[in-house]
Chain A
Amino acid sequence: MNDEQIQSFLDEIGYSFHTLKRQVEISVKQVDDEGILPLWTTGPIVLR
């Protein structure tokens, strides 16, 4: 890979990581908006 290709790869991989992080934030906010708090409590892994 030349310098330009390396930078292009890094830009793309960085963008994809940002997208993944954002997808989680948007999803969890929707759960929050529903007021479903037990997801974050300790103890047994009970989803509902």
Chain B
Amino acid sequence: MDNGSNSIAVIIKHLAGNMISRWADFLTTDGETPDRHRDQEFILTPSDTRQYLMARWETGWQLVFGAVSSISSINFSTTVYIRGEAHSVVRACHRQMTHYAYHVGQIVQLSRYHTGDNWKTLSIPRGQSETFNETLRQKQMKRKNLYDKG
């Protein structure tokens, strides 16, 4: 990792800024809000304490979940704008999903790097795919048998 790489804190700050801008008024205003200062999201200042950044992070996610839960068949055909570019609701959601997944992957990788040998994988442990598949298959068979008997 070089000094130009973003830290976990910076990525958290950037994601929170993006979420707050994109989802606060998801269906009604351009997702790039005038009060957003994207470049500043990559610079940590003295006020960017962990407590502050995590509060922003939570605010961002609550806006995401709130916006998604506010969508229905009534407003689903609304055109969403991001930097003046028109998006369907589906496209706007996918745009954000892929962006967040990209940065979440970076955070996971950085966390793994920092944690070292004590890292516990979020996925199937290396070399254990076959065991995992077999365990899953057995669980599914057991469930199917119970269902068939019921």
Give the A-B pair count, Cβ closer than 8 A: 97
- Place the interface of chain B in its size category: 35 or more
The prevalent SS among residues of A at the interface is helix
Is there an interface contact between A45 and B115, defined as CB atoms closer than 8 Å?
no
Majority DSSP secondary structure for residues of B touching A: helix
Contact A24/B104 with A14-B65, A31-B111, A39-B7 known, Cβ cut-off 8 Å: yes
Interface membership of chain A positions 10-35, coded 1 if the CB is closer than 8 angstroms to chain B and 0 otherwise: 10011011101101101110110110
> Which partner residue on chain B sits nearest A34 by CB separation?
B115
* Interface, chain B (partner A; CB < 8 A): 1, 3-10, 12, 44-46, 48-50, 53, 61, 64-65, 68-69, 71-73, 76, 90, 93, 97, 100-101, 104, 107-108, 110-116, 118-120, 122
Which A residues contact B (CB, under 8 angstroms)?
Answer: 1-3, 6, 9-10, 13-14, 16-18, 20-21, 23-24, 26-28, 30-31, 33-34, 36, 39-40, 42-48
